[in-house]
């Protein structure tokens, strides 16, 4: 249930973030922030655990770039020839190390992967230490602006000699997972998408619609990967998503897989919510989904 606070409108997704990001044992707050900044992770997502995966740039080219005024990051294997494109849509913390590593992992798998910071006009949310402030700020971004920026990134990718936007996939976690559904309803060039525990409800006033409201517009196959113990996205919402997809004959092309007894953020290897077995299984499912739907 949504409720108003002095900081603005909050959602179950926000409450789940607050629960999952609070450290279980006391930490040196100042030391943590310094370490997180040095490692490139969002400082509000404490603690950054030693389990965090670091994919090297060996054999890859890419890095931080600007697409117009949009901060972005890309990675692709060195060599010649065009690669299918995967757009990685950032979670609520924006373009931090986790999103960049997603690009490197996808590049190692044979893709031209690119991610942008959706929130850069609001500020660098990866450097904001207060999770409530992070979410309240992120909630100001309208879908229209997010769509426009993603379209700009897509247009940029279409001009790169190593990128084949004729084979286009989209993926994202959490807030990015929500945008996967929304962008697939918006952008008809998307060939396949994978949403990791993306929230399904509106976040007014900036986002008056959610994925449950656009199931009739989903034109490309989307694989939904959800968590059975997600306190911010109850099974009821997932069931409503399935029903909405079924109502418009899209459920067979867009299946939903729920991992029982795992929390929201189970793929986020830098957080305590990480569940290795489910994260690795979901990654395999994602790559297989893109291959099955021609993004390979």
Active site amino acids:
174, 230, 264
Give the span between the Cα atoms of 109 and 103, in whole angstroms: 10
- Exposed, middle or buried: residue 58 (CB in 10 Å: 0-12, 13-18, 19+)? exposed
Query: Would you mind telling me the total number of residues written for the chain in this entry?
Result: 296
How crowded is the C-beta side of 45, counted as CA atoms within 13 Å?
Answer: 27
Residue entry with tokens 């099974």: 235
Give the span between the Cα atoms of 68 and 48, in whole angstroms: 31
Q: Which residues pair with 114 in a beta bridge?
A: 74, 87
Helix axes 12-21, 131-138, angle to 10 degrees: 150
């Amino acid at each position: 249930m949504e409720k108003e606070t002095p900081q603005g409108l909050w959602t179950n997704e926000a409450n789940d973030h607050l629960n999952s990001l609070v450290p279980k044992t006391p930490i040196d707050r100042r030391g943590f922030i310094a370490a997180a900044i040095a490692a490139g992770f969002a400082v509000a997502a404490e603690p950054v655990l030693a389990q965090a995966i670091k994919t090297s740039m060996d054999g890859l080219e890419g890095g931080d770039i600007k697409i117009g005024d949009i901060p972005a990051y890309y990675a692709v294997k060195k060599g010649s020839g065009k690669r299918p494109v995967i757009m990685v849509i950032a979670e609520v913390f924006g373009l931090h190390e986790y999103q960049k590593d997603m690009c490197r992992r996808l590049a190692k798998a044979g893709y031209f992967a690119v991610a942008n910071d959706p929130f850069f006009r609001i500020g660098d949310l990866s450097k904001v230490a207060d999770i409530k402030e992070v979410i309240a700020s992120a909630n100001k971004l309208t879908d229209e602006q997010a769509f426009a920026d993603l379209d700009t990134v897509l247009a940029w990718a279409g001009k790169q000699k190593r990128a084949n936007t004729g084979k286009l996939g989209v993926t994202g976690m959490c807030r990015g997972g929500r945008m996967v559904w929304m962008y697939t309803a918006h952008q008809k060039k998307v060939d396949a998408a994978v949403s990791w525990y993306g929230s399904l409800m509106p976040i007014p006033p900036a986002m008056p619609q959610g994925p449950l409201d656009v199931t009739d517009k989903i034109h490309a196959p989307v694989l939904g990967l959800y968590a059975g113990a997600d306190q911010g996205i109850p099974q009821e919402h997932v069931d409503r998503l399935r029903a909405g997809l079924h109502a418009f004959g899209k459920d067979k092309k867009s299946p939903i897989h729920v991992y029982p007894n795992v929390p929201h953020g189970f793929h986020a290897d830098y957080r305590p919510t990480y569940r290795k077995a489910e994260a690795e299984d979901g990654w395999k499912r994602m790559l297989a989904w893109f291959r099955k739907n021609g993004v390979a």
